[in-house]
Amino acid sequence: MTPQKINAREIRARLDGLIVQADKIEPNLAKRLIDLRKWIKEKKDGCLNSKPYVLDLLTEVVLDATFWLALNPLNTTQRQIIYTEMNSSPAQQYWFDVLFPQWLNERDPKLPIWKQEVMAGNFKKDDEIIIRSISQKIEALGGSCLWNHILDLSMATDLVTTGILKNPLCVQLTTVSGVHLTQKYENWQKALIYWNIKRGLLISYNSMRSNHVKILADRILNCSDNLPTPCYTVESRG
């Protein structure tokens, strides 16, 4: 869920400031930010401003890094106070407590590939509308959701959800079926295991069904509360 994007000039300035700050207390974050700073170094501001997905991604990383640096020195109780004040959902808390640190501390094997593809304009978030619709349905039913570019590009996850029990589930949606779904499942499972994600759902759906958003939202919310830990479950909702 990307906030209003920051322009290229401000992105550069914020990255530079965060790198200095992070270098003193969290070197792995500094390294990741330096890598992203190099990624855009040779690009002019006008070029970057014409690339919405690049700016969306960098905006997310800058804002998440800023918040995470504020959280990092706090103990669990202090963090929970901040989460309550910021109205952070259980899904957002899972991101900052678990997945974002994982992304900083582990090698990201997909990073070189997606940097090239996103900068070239080859990344298209074709399923953004359905993900947004499913998220709204789940939240209306009392669950929580989070989706962002790093989850999608690096962690094979379209959506992090929690239900009533607040137990995070990483979900990937696909319209692939049959033998192709088997291959997709193998790659998806490997990605989740690599990032030490314990609960995952790969769900294949038929986009031609008129009520597929409701079907998916209901099923994802149910799985969030009822799937075991660990699990890497694949389902078809044709």
Give the pLDDT score at 238. 61
> Contact, 113 vs 39, CB < 8 A?
no
pTM of the model: 0.95
What are the average pLDDT values for consecutive 10-residue runs of the chain, which has 238 residues?
Answer: 80 97 95 98 96 95 97 96 97 98 97 96 87 96 96 97 97 94 96 98 90 94 97 90
CB atoms within 10 A of CB 103: 21
In the sheet with 231-237, reading across from the earlier edge strand, the strands are 144-146, 159-162, 169-174, 199-205, 231-237
CATH 3.40.1350 at 128-237, yes or no = yes
The pLDDT of residue 219: 96
Which residues have a Cβ under 8 Å from the Cβ of 41 and sit 6 or more positions away? none
CA atoms of 6 and 56, how far apart (whole Å): 8
Domain ranges of the chain: 8-88, 128-237
Q: What is the dihedral of CA 144, 174, 2, 214, to 10 degrees?
A: -40
Residue 3: predicted pLDDT: 64
